[in-house]
Amino acid sequence: MRKSFVLSIALILAMVFMVGAAVEAVYLPDDFSGTEIDVYMVAERRAEMVSDFKHEFEEETGITVNINTLPYPNLQEVQFIELAMGEGPDVIHVDQVWLGQYEDYLEPIQRFIDDPDLTDKDQLDLDDFHPTILDLQTSYRDELLGFPFIGAIRMIYYRTDLFEEYADDYYEETGMELDVPDTWLEYKEIARFFEENVEGVHGTTIMGRRGVQLYCDVMPILWSFGGSVIEGPEGQPAIEEMEGIRPNINSPESIEALEFFESLSDYASPGITDWDWDESANAFAQGNAALAMQWNNAAPVFAGEDSEIRGDWEAAIVPGMAENDGIIREALLGGWTLGINANSPNQEAAYLFTKWVTSKDMEINLAPGGGNARESTFTDPELREEYIHYDATFESYDIARSRPRIPQLTEIADISQTAFSRILTGDQEVEEALNDAQSQLEELDL
Amino acid sequence: MDKERSKSILNKIFSSSIFYILPAIIMLALTTIFPFIFAVYLSFNRYDLRFIQREGVTFLGLTNFISLLNSSSFWASVETTIIYVGGALIAQIILGIALAMFLDSLKGPLQKIKSIIFIPMMLTPVVVATTFRLLYNYDFGLIGYIIESMGFIKFPWLAHPFYARIALIISDVWQWTPLITVITLGALQVVPDTLLESAELDGAGWLQKFRYVVLPIIMPIVGVGILLRFMDIVKFFDKIYVLTGGGPGMATETLTYHIYQIGFNFMRLGRAAAASILLLIGIIIISMLLVKFIVQPDVEV
């Protein structure tokens, strides 16, 4: 009697422990109340909008989220130095060109995605993100390092009112239809026409100030001409670190491309050599130019209340160069990864935040902030009506190309930008400037 | 006895000068001396934040210095710095002293102008630079508009290598000339009237009075201001960052901007530290020359 009593007590106790253990295994990861995570984000509209919604996430999970938005240059300095010192916030925001540099500091997220306690794969619907975005914006060496948050890609914009008004004149003068340019040569011809024939309207905008925007203005042209700044050992694009990367900025193709770029600048305001993103976007919004080479994130400026061209513009994919069997178009890709600090003690909470902020619902909520990444958002009928650049943006991802995502890119880009700036201001001839840049690039430790 | 003794020790401590400057020394050690020693350490090493996780820190000896001295962009930035310092400093000295002489000669209620002159100095450099950036803008800037309305052809200030340098110098001269003016105004109060009167009796003209009487007296004081401005202009950074980003080409990339680029854009802290040590050596040498020839010249009367 007594023996069986003791036994049954022991059995009950054992069962309680086992159940307890089981309960713990199931519920522990879900209990994050009291956890606090720090988030760094670049100071763009989409990131700033998150603060309006984060209470929903906090109520649902019990995680407190502290968001710090930092301007672009400061973000890189503050965030990367903190990470290199073994610190940094739980969630970090990484420009896709920094991925090679941040690789060691980002926690690959596949294991969180595969964890059914953390992820409902149907709800996440990873395939909803454009494959190019997942590949070039958030993965490095085939490893997913975060979710895409703020997408950026190069497009062109044109003035529908001017195109309509001058269609006949253009046909008379050139014998061609005035339509969305498919090649850079057509683009330049249209720019020339408006520069020469329409008072107060320049042909195109160019972001000519020495800086990263100038680099992004030149590259789609340079690539479609067949040139490159640096390349792999077999001349392939060097989008990741690889053996045998070499500079090749003074190839005949690059020289031809920069000569074209310089001649294109004749059909822009003489002030463009000082233009950055702001000046360029505002100039087009004020009706300064018939065409604009810009990012998808300039569209809200053109559609905004202060715009003089509301309703009179459209977006299109970048032109290219005709090759035997079609047109080679190269839409330069930008955009950001929202990733998890590999040293963070709160990785799971951090993951839940990144998953939530890039979820389908949040994509819709944050649409006014621009930079979506999901097909479901780009094809949403209501949103498409309001944001007329969605089609061109989504289509651009099919022809996207990334800059080399290697740690030395900033230095490579700076040398290139300086050369491009010298060419634009007439300080140096194209070939001389590119030869100088080539020898400086060769000095780098690639 | 013991009490006496401890009292005398306390007295000794309190009466020694070290005790009173100790807080300052500690502050200095933390904010200046330690970072300086660390910078020297960095400059002899490959301390590249981009690769520090994988490759760590390696001792390089003088490699950083040698590769800098062989780099064309380093020398281009040195050249820009010299042009910039020379242009801005000379303009500020001449304008500052002239302005002070003018203000000093004002009588009555007009003297109130003096305080207005100092307003630019109170502004944050970034605010000044942002304002100038808008003023210089080719398409809608005020300066271009005025030039055009006077019948001249406007030109892109910040977009041309030569004008961009001028534009930067103008913005700095606008903001910092008042410093030289303040110091000169103070120094002018020291010049004894009797000396000026006797010079006048000797038949000295305005220029001679200035050259042989006023200038030798005020120069040691104004020299300190010049020295301060010199060190400040060499370290000039914020206006370049806002106005030109070092462009067009390398036209406005001064040594400090170059160091910033290497250090915080390229994350090569070792190389940046080496460049800043070279800059420091340059500043020390030129400062010593300035002290020797301007602040404490052998006074010849």
**pLDDT number for residue A20:** 47
Residues 6 or more apart whose CB falls under 8 angstroms from that of B278 comprise B65, B68
Judged by CB atoms closer than 8 Å, whether chains meet at A408 and B50 is answered as: yes
Please name the residue of chain A whose CA is at the shortest distance from the CA of residue B141: A271
**pLDDT number for residue A24:** 41
Residue with tokens 């309509």: A164
**pLDDT number for residue B107:** 81
Is residue A368 within 8 Å of residue A49, measured between CB atoms? Answer: yes
Contacts of B77 in chain A (CB under 8 A): none
Judged by CB atoms closer than 8 Å, whether chains meet at B137 and A104 is answered as: no
Q: How far is CA A90 from the centre of its chain?
A: 22
> Would strands B45-46 and B58-59 be described as parallel, antiparallel, or unpaired?
antiparallel
Distance CA A77, CA B82 (A): 28
Which pair of structure tokens corresponds to residue A114? 């595969």
Distance CA B183, CA B27 (A): 28
Mutate to test the interface with B, among A85, A210, A420 (most CBs of B within 10 A): A210
What's the topology of domain B71-295? MetI-like fold (1.10.3720)
Q: Which of A153, A197, A179 is nearest to A298 (CA)?
A: A153
Determine which helix (DSSP H) or strand (DSSP E) holds A105, and give its type and residue range: none
Q: How far is CA A404 from the centre of its chain?
A: 13
Q: How many helices (H) and strands (E) does chain A have?
A: 21, 17
Give the burial class of B34: count Cβ atoms within 10 A of its Cβ; 0-12 exposed, 13-18 middle, 19 or more buried.
exposed
**pLDDT number for residue B12:** 82
Is residue A297 within 8 Å of residue A152, measured between CB atoms? Answer: yes
Residues of chain A with pLDDT under 50: 1, 19-28
Residue with tokens 């106790």: A13
Residue with tokens 């990144």: A354
Judged by CB atoms closer than 8 Å, whether chains meet at A425 and B161 is answered as: yes
Residue with tokens 């036994």: A7
What Å distances lie between residue A395 and A178, A186, A390, B92, B192, CA to CA? 22, 20, 8, 56, 80
Q: Which of A213, A214, A212, A203 is nearest to A421 (CA)?
A: A214
* Complex-level ipTM: 0.84
Which pair of structure tokens corresponds to residue B234? 């060499």
Which pair of structure tokens corresponds to residue B207? 């220029």
Q: Please list, residue by residue across A120-149, b when 16 or more beta carbons sit within 10 angstroms of its beta carbon and e when fewer do.
A: eeeebeeeebbebbbbbbbbbeeebbbbbb
CA dihedral angle for residue B149, residue B153, residue B154, residue B157, rounded to 10 degrees? -150
Distance CA A87, CA A257 (A): 44
**pLDDT number for residue B203:** 83
**What are φ and ψ of residue A295, in 5° steps?**
-90, 165
Question: What are the extents of the domains in chain B?
Answer: 71-295
**pLDDT number for residue B183:** 93
Interface residues from chain A to B (CB-CB < 8 Å)? 76-77, 80-81, 84, 101, 104-105, 208-211, 269-274, 279, 283, 288, 407-408, 410-411, 414, 417-418, 421-422, 424-425, 427-428, 436, 440, 443
Average pLDDT of the residues in B249-259? 93
Distance CA A137, CA A344 (A): 22
| Closest chain B C-alpha to A370 CA, distance in angstroms | 26
Distance CA B222, CA B297 (A): 12
Which pair of structure tokens corresponds to residue A427? 């300080």
Say whether pLDDT at B273 is over 70: yes
| Closest chain A C-alpha to B28 CA, distance in angstroms | 24
Distance CA A425, CA B191 (A): 51
What residue ranges define each of the domains in chain A, with the CATH number in brackets? Answer: 36-152+334-401 (3.40.190.10), 154-332+408-443 (3.40.190.10)
Judged by CB atoms closer than 8 Å, whether chains meet at B155 and A270 is answered as: yes
**pLDDT number for residue A22:** 44
Which pair of structure tokens corresponds to residue A258? 């920069």
Could you please report the per-residue DSSP string of A6-35?
HHHHHHHHHHHHHHHHHHHHHHGGG--TT-
Preceding peptide of A181 cis, ω within 30°: no
Q: Number of CB pairs < 8 Å for A and B? A: 98
Q: How far is CA A306 from the centre of its chain?
A: 25
Judged by CB atoms closer than 8 Å, whether chains meet at B244 and A209 is answered as: yes
Which pair of structure tokens corresponds to residue B153? 């052809």
Distance CA B166, CA B157 (A): 8
**pLDDT number for residue B167:** 92
Strand partners, A38: A66
Residue from the list A101, A269, A273 with its beta carbon closest to the beta carbon of B248: A273
Helix (H, G, I), strand (E, B) or coil at B208: helix
Name the average pLDDT for chain B: 88
Q: Which of A291, A345, A442 is nearest to A90 (CA)?
A: A345
In the structure, what pLDDT confidence band is assigned to residue B155 with cuts at 50, 70 and 90? confident
Distance CA A102, CA B193 (A): 69
Strand partners, A183: A320
Tally of CB atoms within 10 A around A367: 20
Q: Which of B291, B112, B100 is nearest to B179 (CA)?
A: B100
What Å distances lie between residue B137 and A149, A212, A318, B198, CA to CA? 34, 20, 28, 53
* R_g of chain B, CA atoms, integer Å: 25
Distance CA A217, CA A85 (A): 35
Tally of CB atoms within 10 A around B99: 19
Residues 6 or more apart whose CB falls under 8 angstroms from that of B83 comprise B165
Contacts of A284 in chain B (CB under 8 A): none
Strand partners, A64: A36
Angle at A441 between CA A438 and CA A442, to 5 degrees: 85
Judged by CB atoms closer than 8 Å, whether chains meet at A283 and B54 is answered as: no
Residue with tokens 């000039």: B236
**pLDDT number for residue A10:** 59
In the structure, what pLDDT confidence band is assigned to residue B193 with cuts at 50, 70 and 90? confident
| Closest chain B C-alpha to A97 CA, distance in angstroms | 13
Mutate to test the interface with A, among B42, B70, B264 (most CBs of A within 10 A): B264
Strand partners, A148: A337
Contacts of A273 in chain B (CB under 8 A): 156, 158-160, 247-248
Distance CA A423, CA B106 (A): 51
Please name the residue of chain B whose CA is at the shortest distance from the CA of residue A81: B49
Please name the residue of chain A whose CA is at the shortest distance from the CA of residue B264: A77
Residue from the list B248, B264, B267 with its beta carbon closest to the beta carbon of A425: B248
Judged by CB atoms closer than 8 Å, whether chains meet at B49 and A424 is answered as: no
| Closest chain A C-alpha to B267 CA, distance in angstroms | 9
Residue from the list B49, B245, B250 with its beta carbon closest to the beta carbon of A80: B49
Please name the residue of chain A whose CA is at the shortest distance from the CA of residue B247: A210
